[in-house]
């Protein structure tokens, strides 16, 4: 069984990948990770730590990984950091299958942002998040909806900005880094810097679009994700 574990970007839930399922499921067992604070887990307190999030998810993900012959971990932006932290824990899982990490729309963990949104007032925070995302979420224009969404979004942004993984020893599994050609938030150099956290040669692909290309047109990333992994853990 081949498995794809998908981590969403900040503010999003598992439904961000719903439209992908008809094209992915003939090839893969898709596990879209649902973090607390959103969708059916709306009443739960969201995480503010990548490490704590993965600690919480590991009990349910470990048997999936152990029972799969091939595992791809995928994340976009904040989701890339969650996928990376899971990849770091893979060595603690007994007999994992062939594994690879696909990161999208994200600088390497060795390239933290020079500007942050945490601590800003609501208007400045929303403006900064829109700068990060490269687009304006229409839901944030509605005051009532914004009041509901802001605590989750603030928690996700804090989780992303606070993440500083200790002991960045290179992973032994392959990493495939995907960057949109018109992404104004992640430079080519920041994307290629993922090479510093993997031993195998980094695979690097540029796709059409801007930072949120996977919402506008996911066809290229879906094609990439259905490709088999080229090397084992």
Tokens of 174: 């392959």
Give the closest residue to 74 by CA, choosing from 87, 62, 63, 61: 87
Q: First vs last Cα of the chain: how many Å apart?
A: 16
Mean pLDDT of 13-24: 94
The CA distance from 83 to 74, in Å, is 6
Q: Tell me, what's the pLDDT at 96? A: 56
Q: For the full predicted model, state whether its pTM sits above 0.85.
A: yes
Question: For 87, left (φ over 0), alpha (ψ -120 to 50), or beta?
Answer: alpha
Residue 86 burial (CB < 10 Å; 0-12/13-18/19+)?
A: buried
Angle 105-130-216 (CA atoms, 0-180°, nearest 5)?
55
pLDDT, residue 71, reads 93
Confidence of residue 94 (pLDDT cuts 50, 70, 90): low
- Average pLDDT of the residues in 184-210: 95
| Average pLDDT estimate for 38-61 | 93
7: part of which helix (H) or strand (E)? strand 2-7
CATH code of the region 2-225: 3.40.50.1820
Per DSSP (E only), the strands in 51-151 are 70-76, 98-104
User: Percentage of residues in the chain with pLDDT exceeding 90?
Assistant: 55
**H or E, element range at 176:** strand 175-180
Q: What is the mean pLDDT of residues 90-109?
A: 83
Whole-angstrom distance, CA of residue 224 vs CA of residue 207: 10
22: confidence class by pLDDT, cuts 50, 70, 90:
very high
The reported pLDDT for the residue numbered 232 is 37
Rounded Cα gap, residues 41 and 36, in angstroms: 5
Q: For residue range 104-147, list pLDDT tens digits in order.
A: 999 999 987 766 777 777 778 777 777 766 556 666 677 777 77
Mean pLDDT of 181-185: 91
Given a contact cutoff of 8 angstroms between Cβ atoms, the answer to whether 4 and 31 are in contact is yes
Higher pLDDT, 143 or 230: 143
Nearest residue to 217 (alpha-carbon basis) of 83, 23, 26? 23
Confidence of residue 181 (pLDDT cuts 50, 70, 90): very high
Based on the number of CB atoms within 10 Å of its own CB, is 166 exposed (0-12), middle (13-18) or buried (19 or more)? exposed
pLDDT digits (tens, 9 = 90+) for 137-164: 666 677 777 777 888 888 988 888 888 8
Mean pLDDT (the chain, rounded): 87
Q: For residues 200 and 124, give the distance between their C-alpha atoms in angstroms, rounded to a whole number.
A: 41
Task: Residue 192: name the closest of 102, 100, 79, 107 by CA.
Answer: 107
Between these two residues, 64 and 122, which has the higher pLDDT value?
64
């Amino acid at each position: 069984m081949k498995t794809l574990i998908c981590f969403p970007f900040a503010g999003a839930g598992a439904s961000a990948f719903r439209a992908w399922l008809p094209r992915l499921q003939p090839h893969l067992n898709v596990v879209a990770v649902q973090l607390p604070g959103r969708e059916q887990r709306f009443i739960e307190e969201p995480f503010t730590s990548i490490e704590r999030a993965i600690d919480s998810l590991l009990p349910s993900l470990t048997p999936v990984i152990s029972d799969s012959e091939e595992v791809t971990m995928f994340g976009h932006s904040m989701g890339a950091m969650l996928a990376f932290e899971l990849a770091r824990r893979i060595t603690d899982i007994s007999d994992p299958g062939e594994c690879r990490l696909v990161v999208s729309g994200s600088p390497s963990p060795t390239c933290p942002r020079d500007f942050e949104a945490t601590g800003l007032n609501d208007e400045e925070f929303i403006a900064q998040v829109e700068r990060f995302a490269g687009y304006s979420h229409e839901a944030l224009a509605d005051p009532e909806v914004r009041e509901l969404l802001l605590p989750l979004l603030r928690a996700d942004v804090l989780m992303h900005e606070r993440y500083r993984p200790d002991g960045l020893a290179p992973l032994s599994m392959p990493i495939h880094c995907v960057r949109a050609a018109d992404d104004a938030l992640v430079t080519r150099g920041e994307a290629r810097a993922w090479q510093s956290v993997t031993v195998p040669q980094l695979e690097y692909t540029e796709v059409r679009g801007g930072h949120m290309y996977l919402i506008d047109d996911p066809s290229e990333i879906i094609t990439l994700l259905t490709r088999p992994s080229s090397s084992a853990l």
